[in-house]
Amino acid sequence: MKNILITGASGFIGFHLSKILLERGISVTGVDNLNSYYDVELKRSRLKLLEQFNNFEFHLLDISDDALVKKFSLDHNFNIIINLAAQAGVQYSIENPHAYIDANIRGFLNILELSKSSSVEHLIYASSSSVYGLNNKIPFSETDAVDHPISLYAATKKSNELMAHTYSYLFKIPTTGLRFFTVYGPWGRPDMALFKFTKALVNDEIISVNNFGDHARDFTYIDDIINGILSVIDTPFPDNSSLDKKLLSPSESTAPWRILNIGRGQQVKLMDFIESIENYFGKEIKKEFLPLQPGDVPNTFCDTSRLQNEFNYSPNVSIKDGVNKFLDWYVEYYDVSL
């Protein structure tokens, strides 16, 4: 029986992944620092659902605390580590850069050290579509260079990929970095567009529509993201030692290291996304159109061919169905009168 550690277990993706693994009877140890970047009560509500499972063990732990992580490592051993703990948010990284160095760099270093001491079979960690930065080739592919990030958040995520490669090469730790594309769904993050727009409509508030609405995103429903992660967990890591170093793409290595996109593989205009919320409630959202924010990219679009070909990944939740599922949850969780 595999013993899995999930960091950021009370976060959006961490909660959903923990829940499906627990339902399958797999033992999960979750850690989280329950920080106040967004509503802590939402995190506690997720955690309360996970704690109903007998095969779940939770530890309040900040992965950027060297001493506490080292003490934790002495008491635990894991087959698989999935690092989803991070300081998220592009705009917040401009205002609070030190939080990203602590959580995303120092914290990830501690996870790499924990992986080394545990001799893990596989370390999976969250990267981000934001690493593509100024890349203007569409769709974004793992074979593209990612040398021009435009936010500190993106820079920390690219750093994670490089740090993982170092440990994969030196210590033969199999690592997989997953570049998530705009994840949404029930129990989502309040700082994300769908949540903010819905809250504004319900409270009759004005939303800020940046880049004058000329945004497009590869919105990916949470269930498709989770299925992608599960396919990676269940697929043995390939022996890359025979790869020709001269022919390697930026996402390949002779070390046991790989980078994968996970997205819907479909661009959706932001205004169409907003319209799907308005259609659900039968009400228009008040809008203020503003210029492009620093650190934001106008468009994202995910090339999912590698995940599809190698892992049978097949995202199947449409934007309409996904948005409606989120809104059903929002209405119930916040007791909204329709």
Residue 226, token pair as written in the block: 């989770």
Q: What gap in Å lies between CA 33 and CA 125, rounded to an integer?
A: 17
pLDDT bucket at 293, cuts 50 / 70 / 90: confident
pLDDT number for residue 212: 84
Does residue 157 surpass a pLDDT of 70?
yes
User: pTM for the complete prediction?
Assistant: 0.95
pLDDT number for residue 1: 55
pLDDT number for residue 215: 84
Which residues, listed in sequence order, are joined to residue 44 by a DSSP beta bridge?
A: none
pLDDT number for residue 218: 94
Residue 293, token pair as written in the block: 């924010």
Residues 6+ apart with CB under 8 A from 321: 221
Between 3.50.50.60, 3.30.1330.20, 3.40.50.720, 1.25.40.10, what CATH number should domain 3-184+219-265+300-316 receive? 3.40.50.720
Model confidence pLDDT, tens digit, residues 182-238: 999 999 999 999 999 999 999 999 998 888 888 899 999 999 999 999 999 988 788
Q: What gap in Å lies between CA 32 and CA 6, rounded to an integer?
A: 9
Model confidence pLDDT, tens digit, residues 7-62: 999 999 999 999 999 999 999 999 999 999 999 999 999 999 999 999 999 999 99
Model confidence pLDDT, tens digit, residues 240-284: 877 877 778 888 899 999 999 999 999 999 999 999 999 999 999
CA 216 vs CA 152, 275, 276, 334: distances in Å:
22, 13, 14, 28
Does residue 301 surpass a pLDDT of 90?
yes
pLDDT bucket at 320, cuts 50 / 70 / 90: very high
Q: Contact at 8 Å (CB) between 175 and 167? A: yes
Catalytic residues: 153
Domain ranges of the chain: 3-184+219-265+300-316
pLDDT number for residue 142: 96
Model confidence pLDDT, tens digit, residues 87-144: 988 888 888 999 999 999 999 999 999 999 988 999 999 999 999 999 989 999 999 9
DSSP letter (8 states) at residue 257: E
Residue 274: phi and psi, rounded to 5, are -65, -40
Which of 60, 64, 61 lies closest to 107, judged by CA? 64
Q: What gap in Å lies between CA 205 and CA 68, rounded to an integer?
A: 43
